[in-house]
Structure 1
Amino acid sequence: MDLKLRGKVILVSGGAKGIGGAISKGLIEEGAFPVIIDPSENEGKALVELAQGNALHLPIRLFSADQAKEVVMLAVEKFGKIDGLVNNAGANDSVGLENGSPEEFAQSLANNLFHYYHLAHYALPHLKKSQGAIVNISSKTAVTGQGGTSGYVAAKGAQLALTREWAVELLPYQIRVNALLPAEVYTPMYESWIQSFSNPQKKLEEINQKIPLGRRMTNPEEIAAMAIFLLSEKASHITGQHLYVDGGYTHLDRSL
């Protein structure tokens, strides 16, 4: 299927590794020009090489509104436009109610949420011109809870609320806004967490057995495929949706 993304300029935060890296790679394969916002130098460079220069790697951590403004400016300076935004960067930092502090909670919320707003805000004038699309990567923890990670879950829940809010606000501009909710996705970050257990293989098998479809984790490319579809004109009448790509993990009875 030709998604007609050739030459489209898409911002991807956290776009060098894991889910974001799979999205950037998939965009390159579709002929789009990803702007990869990620401090990972080697992975970002490899993706630019894969794109034969039709990509931009910005090794910037999105800790402030000014950094998001700079990213948009550099993207437009290189490509002249912005056609889409994938808000993806973030990390489950385990700042909980018992094991955190008010200061740590505020910082976790800032690290995982604020740049979603900042990038959308500064990209908006360009998205209006292109009638582009926004995809927010959230998490199943926003609807199931997890325990011990209040800051991350609060940010993920807010991302879902903002998806609906922006979908409404941007209707007059024909800008579509949707969210994806992954569950268990085997990324490098997830692998590092698995390796922290005394018996990583046993822990991995326990998790896999809780995933109804195929008893396996979702792979990053499966999340990427849905994100790229939502960015394309093939999804031209989809907006304000929370879409689960999780092998039935969130909604199906795990005793199946």
Structure 2
Amino acid sequence: MILHLQDKVILVSGGAKGIGGAISKGLIEEGAIPVIIDPSEKEANELVKKASGKALHIPMRLVSAEDCQSAVNQALNTFGRIDGIVNNAGANDGVGLEKGNPKAFAKSIATNLYHYYYLVHFALPELKRNQGAIVNISSKTAVTGQGGTSGYVAAKGAQLALTREWAVELLPYRIRVNAILPAEVYTPMYEQWIQSFPNPEEKLAEISRRIPLGQRMTTPEEIASMALFLLSDKASHLTGQHLYVDGGYTHLDRAL
């Protein structure tokens, strides 16, 4: 499918590795221009090389509003436009109710949520001008819970609420806003978590068996395919949606 993303400038937070890296790679293959906002130098430089220079790496972890404004300004100074945003950066940091504390909880929400708002806020004039699109990467934990990760789950739930809120607010500008909810995706961060168990291979096999479609993990590339579709004109009448790319993990009976 030709997605007509040629020369579209798309900001991708956490765009060097895992799901974000797959999205950046997919954008490059479609002829789009990813702005990779990520502190990971090696992986980002490989993507920029693959893009033959039609990409920008901003080696930054988005923490403050000033960071986000700087990233937007760098993208505009380099390419002169912004056509879309993929809010993706974040981490399941395990700040729970019993084992966490108010300070850690507040930090977890700030780390996983605030930059979603900041990046869109500062890029909004460009998104209005170009009738852009926004894709928020959330998580199935926002609707299922997980246990032991209150901060991350609260942030992911807020991302889903903001997806609907922004879809309404931005209707007059024809800016589409949608969210993707991955479940079990085998990223480098996920692998690191798996390796923390005494028998990593057994744990991975146990989780995979619970995924109804194919009893396998979702790949980062499968999440990327949905993100690219949502950014494109092929999804021109799709907004305010929460889309599950998870092999049926969230909604189907896992006994299947």
Band of TM-score, shorter chain? over 0.9
How many residues get paired?
A: 256
Residue pairs, 1:34-183, within 5 angstroms = 34-183=34-183
**Structure 2 length as normaliser, TM-score?**
1.00
Counterpart AA for 1:215: Q
Counterpart AA for 2:22: A
CA distance in structure 2 between the aligned counterparts of 1:149 and 1:26, rounded to whole angstroms: 31
Alignment correspondent of 1:228:
228
Q: Deviations over 1:177-213 (max 9, x none)?
A: 0000000000000000001111000000000010000
Q: Deviations over 1:157-188 (max 9, x none)?
A: 00000000000000000000000000000000
CA distance in structure 1 between the aligned counterparts of 2:200 and 2:117, rounded to whole angstroms: 36
CA distance in structure 2 between the aligned counterparts of 1:186 and 1:161, rounded to whole angstroms: 26
CA distance in structure 2 between the aligned counterparts of 1:193 and 1:60, rounded to whole angstroms: 24
Q: Deviations over 1:216-239 (max 9, x none)?
A: 000000000000000000000000
Counterpart AA for 1:147: G
Give unpaired runs (5+ residues) of structure 2.
Answer: none
CA distance in structure 2 between the aligned counterparts of 1:90 and 1:154, rounded to whole angstroms: 13
CA distance in structure 1 between the aligned counterparts of 2:16 and 2:28, rounded to whole angstroms: 12
Residue 107 of structure 2: SS of its match in structure 1? helix
Alignment correspondent of 2:28:
28
Over aligned residue pairs, what C-alpha RMSD do you find?
A: 0.3
CA distance in structure 1 between the aligned counterparts of 2:106 and 2:56, rounded to whole angstroms: 31
In the alignment, does 2:190 pair up with 1:193?
no
CA distance in structure 1 between the aligned counterparts of 2:188 and 2:20, rounded to whole angstroms: 12
Residue 112 of structure 1: SS of its match in structure 2? helix
CA distance in structure 2 between the aligned counterparts of 1:99 and 1:184, rounded to whole angstroms: 24
Residue 251 (structure 1) shift? 0.1
Residue pairs, 1:211-226, within 5 angstroms = 211-226=211-226
CA distance in structure 1 between the aligned counterparts of 2:212 and 2:115, rounded to whole angstroms: 33
CA distance in structure 2 between the aligned counterparts of 1:178 and 1:123, rounded to whole angstroms: 17
Residue 158 of structure 2: SS of its match in structure 1? helix
Residue 181 of structure 1: SS of its match in structure 2? strand
Counterpart AA for 1:127: L
**Structure 1 length as normaliser, TM-score?**
1.00
Segments ≥4 residues shifted beyond 3 Å? none
Residue 178 of structure 1: SS of its match in structure 2? strand
Alignment correspondent of 2:238:
238
Residue 54 of structure 1: SS of its match in structure 2? coil
Residue 4 of structure 1: SS of its match in structure 2? coil
CA distance in structure 2 between the aligned counterparts of 1:44 and 1:124, rounded to whole angstroms: 25
Residue 147 of structure 1: SS of its match in structure 2? coil
Residue 243 of structure 1: SS of its match in structure 2? strand
Counterpart AA for 1:226: M
Alignment correspondent of 1:251:
251
Report the identity percentage: 76
CA distance in structure 2 between the aligned counterparts of 1:255 and 1:67, rounded to whole angstroms: 45
Residue 60 (structure 1) shift? 0.7
CA distance in structure 2 between the aligned counterparts of 1:49 and 1:213, rounded to whole angstroms: 35
Residue 10 of structure 1: SS of its match in structure 2? strand
CA distance in structure 2 between the aligned counterparts of 1:213 and 1:2, rounded to whole angstroms: 27
Q: Deviations over 1:68-87 (max 9, x none)?
A: 00000000000000000000
Counterpart AA for 1:23: I
